[in-house]
Amino acid sequence: MITLRSAQARGSANFGWLDSRHTFSFGEYFDPNHMGFANLRVINEDKVAPGQGFATHGHRDMEIVSYVLEGALEHKDSIGTGSVIRPGDVQRMSAGTGILHSEYNASQTEPVHFLQIWILPESKGIAPGYEQKTFSDAEKQGQLRLVGSRDGRDGSITIHQDANLYAALLQDGDEVSHRFEKGRVAWLQVARGTVQLNDRLLSAGDGAAISDEDLITLRGTSDRAEVLMFDMAA
């Protein structure tokens, strides 16, 4: 079964410096029918104005993944990590017992456009942690590249949950399939471009809940499409 979640149906918030779209309930946007999917709790598509950002704030017991589409995002946290995240980078911050961090647009002239993703951890009270890895376009072109997993296999970042995160770049006509093990579900998020998921056409910002499917096929239908897929325990 494939259930679409259109970009237009998402919640939104605009504070001038921040334009955000919420796939699931977040902040002042609340929809009891869209509180997350499996262990996936938040997918926010954020655009932050030059030189602006999120001041230092706290999190606890959450796996937070940042995926930059355009621009550069500067990260600082209370465990001593400081980094700049750019397209191709995947960052994971484990909030665990508690962490403070800030996120700012690293540019004074260009906006930053990124996805912030929250995944519920499989256990509470773990030690806070940070990890960042780079995946080239070539690694994702025409294929689902594993970029996050519970065991960090194949060079992926480690996520403290039974969740496999894949990223793919698809040109028009590129086709890739994914087979699910029994008891697995998935969420597909289109970051840019358009793709065909089995017989459904999805555009940038659209998402799809996938359950009770043995196999899905993704086909690129634009010059450059970029997707994330979360394969999770049901």
Residue 199's pLDDT is 93
> Residue 29's pLDDT band (boundaries 50, 70, 90)?
very high
Q: Which tokens go with 204?
A: 């940038």
> Residue 31's pLDDT band (boundaries 50, 70, 90)?
very high
For the stretch 109-163, pLDDT in tens is: 999 999 999 999 999 999 999 999 999 999 999 999 999 999 999 999 999 999 9
Residue 150's pLDDT is 97
For the stretch 69-122, pLDDT in tens is: 999 999 999 999 999 999 999 999 999 999 999 999 999 999 999 999 999 999
CA distance 207 to 86: 23
**Which residues, in sequence order, are CB contacts of 30 under 8 Å at separation 6+?**
none
For the stretch 186-228, pLDDT in tens is: 999 999 999 999 999 999 999 999 999 999 999 999 999 999 9
Average pLDDT over residues 31-52: 97
CATH superfamily name and code, 10-134: Jelly Rolls (2.60.120.10)
Residue 182's pLDDT is 93
Report the chain's mean pLDDT, rounded to a whole number: 97
Residue 38's pLDDT is 98
Domain boundaries, the chain: 10-134, 138-233
**Which residues, in sequence order, are CB contacts of 80 under 8 Å at separation 6+?**
none
Its CATH class, for the domain covering 138-233, is mainly beta
10-134 against 138-233: fold identical? yes
CA distance 137 to 134: 10
CA distance 44 to 78: 23
